[in-house]
């Protein structure tokens, strides 16, 4: 990430920007197989210039991952379309204290009769790249280019890795989409790729004309995670292999061959593809 301005601390203005509940917080972690994972965590925020926290109210793979590999990447997107991206290292958890009380007093949890924050996770800031305004003009142009490339490249897939619902969610241009890969230092990094579309039922394609430098930094053949979410709180997590950049009908595009699909949505987060074997209940 040498083409970016590196910051080691958050400013007071940054910290204040992270406080609203209505924002997008994403945490990238590394699983036991060394593969990237992406999770939506709305409580993610900075509490000091060098520390981030988030609250746990539901079980999830990201909480398991950080206990085994503390290296994480983060992205915070506020309603005014400003983003902060960077890297942080998980240090410890607490089930009481100032941050525990702060998060449980947020309206979403304070007035919820069914669940509250039961554990707070603490992360030390490693670096971030400053406040970045989403380049909407470039994103719209990239989305149109992606649609053109998708039509030219569309082909029948051998397997239905992405079902119809997943393809429709990803192909809606208003939905948010992000990619994560692991850099040489072992930390995952998150890149917005809102322009992404499906190409058949096992590929994701996206023009490189938005966030071009970030996309070009992804090594060909690298395992990547891809997260898509709507403002109706629908989301899906994919994983696959990045195929590099190729020209499709005059449009330079990156692409992912998808080999794993996961639904993070309640009431039961579960793996969708490959399908898991159903085991009979033997103990009652």
Torsion of Cα atoms, 203 then 209 then 211 then 215, to 10°: 50
pLDDT at 60: 81
Assess whether pLDDT exceeds 60 at residue 113. Answer: no
CATH code of the region 134-270: 2.30.110.10
Task: Quickly count: other Cβ atoms within 10 Å of residue 198's Cβ.
Answer: 24
pLDDT at 106: 83
For the four alpha carbons of 216, 135, 149 and 226, in that order, the dihedral sign comes to: positive
pLDDT class of 221 with cuts at 50, 70, 90: very high
pLDDT at 278: 66
Averaged pLDDT for residues 167-191? 97
Assess whether pLDDT exceeds 90 at residue 204. Answer: yes
3-state secondary structure of 264: coil
Q: Which residues contact 164 (CB under 8 A, 6 or more apart)?
A: none
Averaged pLDDT for residues 120-141? 97
| Bigger pLDDT: 64 vs 117 | 64
CATH code of the region 12-132: 2.30.110.10
pLDDT at 284: 63
**pLDDT tens-place string over residues 229-250:** 998 889 999 999 999 999 998 8
User: What letters, b where the CB count within 10 A reaches 16 and e where it falls short, cover 144-170?
Assistant: ebbbbbbeebeeebeeebbeeebbebb
pLDDT, the chain, mean? 92
pLDDT at 155: 66
pLDDT at 2: 64
pTM of the model: 0.93
Q: Where are the domains of the chain?
A: 12-132, 134-270
What angle is formed at CA 271 by the lines to CA 265 and CA 277, rounded to 5 degrees? 135
- Say whether 134-270 and 12-132 share the same fold: yes
Assess whether pLDDT exceeds 60 at residue 1. Answer: no
> Structure tokens of 24?
């997008």
pLDDT at 233: 84
pLDDT class of 110 with cuts at 50, 70, 90: low
Averaged pLDDT for residues 180-199? 97
Averaged pLDDT for residues 101-107? 85
């Amino acid at each position: 990430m040498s083409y970016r301005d590196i910051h080691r601390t958050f400013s007071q203005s940054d910290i204040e920007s992270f406080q609203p509940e209505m924002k997008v917080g994403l945490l990238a972690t590394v699983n036991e197989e060394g593969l990237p994972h992406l999770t939506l965590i709305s409580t993610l925020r900075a509490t000091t210039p060098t520390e981030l926290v988030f609250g746990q109210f539901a079980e999830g793979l990201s909480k398991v991952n950080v206990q085994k590999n503390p290296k994480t990447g983060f992205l915070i997107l506020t309603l005014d379309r400003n983003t902060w991206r960077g890297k942080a290292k998980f240090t410890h958890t607490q089930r009481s204290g100032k941050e525990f009380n702060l998060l449980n007093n947020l309206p979403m949890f304070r007035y919820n009769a069914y669940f509250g924050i039961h554990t707070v996770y603490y992360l030390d800031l490693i670096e971030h790249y400053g406040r970045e305004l989403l380049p909407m003009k470039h994103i719209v142009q990239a989305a149109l280019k992606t649609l053109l490339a998708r039509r030219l490249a569309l082909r029948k897939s051998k397997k239905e890795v992405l079902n119809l619902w997943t393809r429709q969610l990803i192909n809606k241009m208003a939905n948010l989409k992000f990619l994560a890969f692991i850099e040489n230092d072992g930390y995952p990094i998150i890149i917005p790729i809102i322009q992404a579309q499906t190409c058949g039922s096992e590929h994701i394609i996206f023009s490189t004309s938005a966030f071009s430098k970030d996309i070009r930094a992804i090594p060909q053949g690298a395992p990547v995670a891809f997260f898509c979410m709507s403002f109706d709180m629908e989301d899906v997590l994919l994983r696959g292999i990045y195929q590099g950049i190729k020209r499709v009908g005059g449009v330079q595009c990156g692409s992912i061959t998808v080999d794993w699909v996961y639904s993070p949505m309640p009431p039961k987060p579960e793996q969708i593809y490959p399908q898991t074997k159903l085991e009979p209940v033997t103990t009652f």
